[in-house]
Structure 1
């Protein structure tokens, strides 16, 4: 009996650790009153998915003034929700069942399939060719058309936050994940031909953030130190850019994102500042920043450049790093957030979604940069929009506090995991799935017609055939 109690305690602690790792908006600061567990932009930044303690919501990003809600599901607490471009396919994981992945057709309200794994799902990434499930020490690569497991990357370095990135471009279908948990190595894996492509020694400290460019040709990285952002060529691992985010130590990088035109890179952290870097030729980066925006760092950089032959290389490296082209000062700090740069109404905008339950929209001046002004803020928690003209900080936000982890499974509930994938063998799936259901997945993975998928056309998503028992 004593051993049983000890095992239950170990299980409880392990589950709590796994849950805290997968809640990307709550594991490093959250506003518990917002109920927002997860926020992510889809692959081309045309929509936003929000997972909450009561379900999930999908929003369109076609307008600055209005945040149109496309869909709302209020069945269970959702800690991961990923939408495939502008299709009706979503992959979801609930806080109550953190080992189970569901692939659904949200427009029809149907579940296409579900898989269970031997450990907590920390991240799910997808493009038109692959769906990747990240556990702490394993990565499973599925063919998104039929959800067969094509390859398993086993015994990866411990990755408790589920850090990984999948290129949205299925022609350059690369997967990036930490190659070490002690230094900042990036492992690039070819998810089409199923082999390791290259290992990039990106940082001296462990990785904190990864992001592919829209084409999949470049990858951006940041380490746990959080002061330097680097961009590498995927093909050969060559370093293309190096930017200094700041001089503060122990900054936790929340997200990295390329703009949809690959001309800019944005970076958010647990501070109140979001940085935007311009991807000019490396030697032109500093020169393109206005002198007033460079400040004392720009002045020192010029001085260092003039005396480069007389100073240690470590000193000149610091001052030769590119500076932020533009920046945003958020009305909060210490809250988890995710950023993106995309064109809305034909103008580039910087978007920041935060665990406080708000989406902040800023205008990005591509010529001048500098401090960006807030255009609009939208609520993500279903409580209605803030009053017109109200400043971003108008509503008081409680101090961050931990979000309680879900309770562990009750003794004897192991039978509910009868379909757990021991090593996730191909073809092992919990539940019976009619093959016709995968027609919907196949349709969604095709390149959409101009203007996106026609959701009103059922021919694009054949009806699901329910199999009777």
Structure 2
């Protein structure tokens, strides 16, 4: 059970009061919490909570360059992959992906470790969770930070550590070790809570397309994922793998789900509505730890990063499996994915020989952790490393093969010029 406290807002930011859709659950049947604003708060929600103003950099927020690079505790992309956030041992930073540049930083005077930074597109509202050896906030609290006011305007407190946070314009999703809470963004009322299997990584994905919310989380069994369709009030359980689920991703509209298990050899793509398996692709033959999965905006491509030091891009051939997604192919689009040269005798030899392999690859440092997303430029991939590395690469959709590196930066180096 969470508890909430909120700070009075002498100059409340209208972007915190996002428009909401109809409540998907009966509010009388669920426990809830209320945000009690100060009497002078504007009760009218802002019609555009996702304004795209660049986050300002107040002079007092910029600290002198340190002698050494900060320790990175967290990295994550925002919802449209146009920005990313870094939680460090004394604050957090926000970067633009294209063109690459630091657009904001906040260094805290005391403590300062931020273990989770979740952006809401490009608006001034962030969700922060303390982390590291000297956390800025208790690790069992989600702080709602308004950077126009340079302070926290609310908090959600829990009995155990927060593993991750997901934001939409209308919802806040908080993930604990074995429970997930879904809140209404406008008033922080609790709408739903979900029990999960042990989830130390805080695995959770929410759709970001305009329309109804689709939420995916681990189920109560090993290898199972749970899909919540809030518009239709339907819950779908999918037995995705025999082994433990370690990573998954949703397409923007929530209609496609990609999953990977602790084996790390196969990635499966499902229809979230009926749970059907639409496609299966092979990362490799040996075990690997999958760090991230990402769909392209049109769900034509899937990117995968792992501890093997290679980012793979797969072509998705999902025809009619996801209504509303533009699956039309141009002359430059691939018709097929690479298959094993022995695929003509599939059914005789093991499944390995008839697997669908990646169209394109990019080699990185083996053993280091990277997350991946598709860039806003056509056929580009953005890769972020826990070592502070930023790569932008381009792949050939027709011929495939090794990607071309377009750009590299180390965003943790204090001497870097932005």
Q: TM-score scaled to structure 1, two decimals?
A: 0.67
Contact persistence 1:129–1:170 (CA under 8 A): no
For residue 371 of structure 2, the aligned residue among 328, 335, 338 is 338
Give 1:228's aligned residue.
266
2-side partners of 1:48 and 1:55: how far apart? 14
For residue 45 of structure 1, the aligned residue among 81, 84, 89 is 81
2-side partners of 1:103 and 1:151: how far apart? 19
Contact persistence 2:334–2:398 (CA under 8 A): no
Structure 1 residue runs without a partner (length 5+): 1-31, 387-469
- Superposition pairs for residues 162-201 of structure 1, below 5 Å? 162-182=202-222, 184-191=223-230, 195-201=233-239
2-side partners of 1:328 and 1:85: how far apart? 27
2-side partners of 1:107 and 1:259: how far apart? 32
1-side partners of 2:356 and 2:169: how far apart? 34
- Superposition pairs for residues 39-188 of structure 1, below 5 Å? 39-63=75-99, 67-75=100-108, 76-95=112-131, 96=135, 97-154=138-195, 156-182=196-222, 184-188=223-227
- Superposition pairs for residues 304-319 of structure 1, below 5 Å? 304-305=345-346, 308=347, 311=348, 315=350, 317-319=351-353
Structure 2 residue runs without a partner (length 5+): 1-67, 320-328
SS of 1:319's equivalent in the other structure is: helix
Give 1:369's aligned residue.
400
Give 1:406's aligned residue.
none
The CA RMSD measured in Å over matched residues stands at: 2.3
SS of 1:171's equivalent in the other structure is: coil
- Superposition pairs for residues 268-283 of structure 1, below 5 Å? 268-281=305-318
Contact persistence 1:79–1:93 (CA under 8 A): yes
Whose relative contact order is higher, 1 or 2, with alpha carbons under 8 Å and at least 6 apart? 1
Contact persistence 1:80–1:94 (CA under 8 A): yes
2-side partners of 1:323 and 1:34: how far apart? 38
2-side partners of 1:286 and 1:222: how far apart? 24
Contact persistence 2:341–2:353 (CA under 8 A): no
For residue 260 of structure 1, the aligned residue among 297, 313, 320 is 297
1-side partners of 2:212 and 2:278: how far apart? 18
Q: What CA deviation, in whole Å up to 9, does each residue of 1:202-254 have, x standing for no partner?
A: 111010101000111111100000000011011101111100000012x1100
1-side partners of 2:210 and 2:173: how far apart? 13
Q: TM-score scaled to structure 2, two decimals?
A: 0.74
1-side partners of 2:375 and 2:299: how far apart? 10
- Superposition pairs for residues 285-434 of structure 1, below 5 Å? 288-289=336-337, 294=338, 298-301=340-343, 303-305=344-346, 308=347, 311=348, 315=350, 317-330=351-364, 332-344=365-377, 347-385=378-416
**Cα shift at 1:71:** 1.1
Equivalent residues, number: 331
**Cα shift at 1:366:** 2.5
2-side partners of 1:60 and 1:82: how far apart? 15
Contact persistence 1:286–1:323 (CA under 8 A): no
2-side partners of 1:196 and 1:384: how far apart? 51
Contact persistence 1:180–1:206 (CA under 8 A): no
SS of 2:297's equivalent in the other structure is: coil
Runs of 4+ in 1 over 6 A off after TM superposition: 284-287
- Please tell me whether residue 243 in structure 1 is matched to residue 285 in structure 2: no
**Cα shift at 1:340:** 0.5
- CA gap 1:281/1:121 in 2 versus in 1, 3 angstroms: closer
Contact persistence 1:34–1:355 (CA under 8 A): no
**Cα shift at 1:180:** 3.6
- Please tell me whether residue 212 in structure 1 is matched to residue 250 in structure 2: yes
**Cα shift at 1:363:** 1.3
Q: What CA deviation, in whole Å up to 9, does each residue of 1:9-65 have, x standing for no partner?
A: xxxxxxxxxxxxxxxxxxxxxxx96511111111111111111111111111222xx
Contact persistence 2:217–2:225 (CA under 8 A): yes
Contact persistence 1:125–1:165 (CA under 8 A): yes
Task: Give the helix-richer structure, 1 or 2.
Answer: 1
2-side partners of 1:99 and 1:318: how far apart? 44
2-side partners of 1:172 and 1:191: how far apart? 7
Higher Cα Rg, which structure: 1
